[in-house]
Amino acid sequence: MRRELDMQADRIEAVLASHKVTGRVAGGTVTTRYTRFELITPLGTRVGRVSALAEEIALALGAHTTRIFREGEKIQIEVARDAPTAPIDLVPLCARLSNIPPVTAVLGVDEEQTPLLLRLPSPDVTHVLIAGTTGSGKTALARVILASLAMHNRQGALQLVLIDPKGRGFGPLEGLPHLLQPLVAAIDEIPNVLANIVGEMERRDALARQLRRPVDMPRIVVAVDELADLVQTGGRAVEQALTRLAQRGREAGIHLICCTQKPTSAAVGGMLKANFPVRLVGSVTSPEEAKIATGLAGSGAEKLRGAGDFLLISKGLSVRFQAAWVNEPTLRRVADALRDGGRRSRRWGPQEARQIAGPERRNL
């Protein structure tokens, strides 16, 4: 392995030199999905000149793709590997964790196999936009987020509202006892549902002003699948309600988790998109779409390999991670366990994980 990595580093430097770009590979990281090389360049080197050589570097290394981006003082060159990636099963992953903060979702693992968590009440999070093409795993990631929230928060502290116009993405979550109401799929019902949530937000705001302190009420997580399609078919009333929740929901304890294949301002609405501090971006089709989805130039999201390969974008920084996975039979067992446990908080230890996960495993 060391010999192969040294050879690849030499080839990267040779490609750069042939295009009159000075650079030296100074180390890197090996994961199951990719090998990352850290490139040190002289002061004043344009990152764009290195990024423009992505295809030439991939050709020299015999790789399908390379993803090139800046991180700190170094340029990172990620080279895709052909080795299959083992699935990250949600329930056993949760069994490894202890003392998860309230209203905190489990996303998966980062490049060092460290569990990655997302605390919704944090001012830097609040609402989450999940973007990616078909096959990127965005709906599967949304299921993981919602299931992990239900697993670690009692019903009296967390309530879920699922809006799924196609009725397929969130269908496996219908058995969770945290649902405030049955899954909402009918287009003509969605405006009223959102209006009721806006009304609840205003009621909580008014009560907080009256009491002159924050009101301790259950957090409400509103999950929307295919956001762009919903905005287009639901019209102005749906967009206005979602925008108001995005702008003012945090103080009232209301959070949005929205999935979309089309994260453009034209499809989603600039005001709505601007209120998602955290983006979870899977594979997209082009550099232009990657820039729109991540809000960053040169993120390389178009080079992601799909099937749960994601970037977490927050405050201009990105973290690549492998999303966890939970299949439908396991979701049903989780829902059954939560209903049997009632309002009591459940500890997901190794023994419970084996009982819940069962023998069924499946790749993303």
- The arithmetic mean of pLDDT across residues 32-43, rounded, is 88
Range list of H helices, 212-345: 227-234, 236-248, 265-268, 270-273, 287-294, 328-341
H/E segment holding residue 279: strand 278-281
Pairwise CA distance, residues 359 & 336, whole Å: 17
Q: 328 or 263: which carries more pLDDT confidence?
A: 328
Distance (Å) of CA 86 to CA 109, 244, 324, 351: 12, 40, 10, 21
- The arithmetic mean of pLDDT across residues 115-129, rounded, is 95
Provide the percentage of residues in the chain whose pLDDT is more than 90.
Answer: 60
Tell me: pLDDT of 346 over 80: no
> For position 350, what pLDDT does the model report?
57
Tell me: pLDDT of 232 over 50: yes
- The arithmetic mean of pLDDT across residues 330-354, rounded, is 70
Q: Token pair 């049997």 is at which residue?
A: 340
> For position 130, what pLDDT does the model report?
96
Q: What are 327-333's contacts with CB under 8 Å, separation 24+? A: 327/360, 327/361, 327/362, 328/172, 329/358, 329/360, 330/89, 330/90, 330/91, 330/356, 330/357, 330/358, 330/360, 331/143, 331/147, 331/172, 331/173, 331/175, 332/172, 332/175, 333/357, 333/358
H/E segment holding residue 94: helix 90-95
Length of the chain: 364
pLDDT digit string, tens, across residues 47-91: 899 999 999 999 999 988 898 988 878 899 999 877 666 789 999
> For position 348, what pLDDT does the model report?
60
Q: 39 or 32: which carries more pLDDT confidence?
A: 39
**Phi then psi for 131, rounded to 5 degrees?**
-125, 150
Encoded tokens for 276: 């998602």
For strands 219-224 and 254-260, give the pairing. Answer: parallel
Contact 286, 156 (CB under 8 A): no
Tell me: pLDDT of 33 over 80: no
pLDDT digit string, tens, across residues 142-183: 999 999 999 999 999 999 999 999 888 999 999 999 999 999
- The arithmetic mean of pLDDT across residues 109-121, rounded, is 91
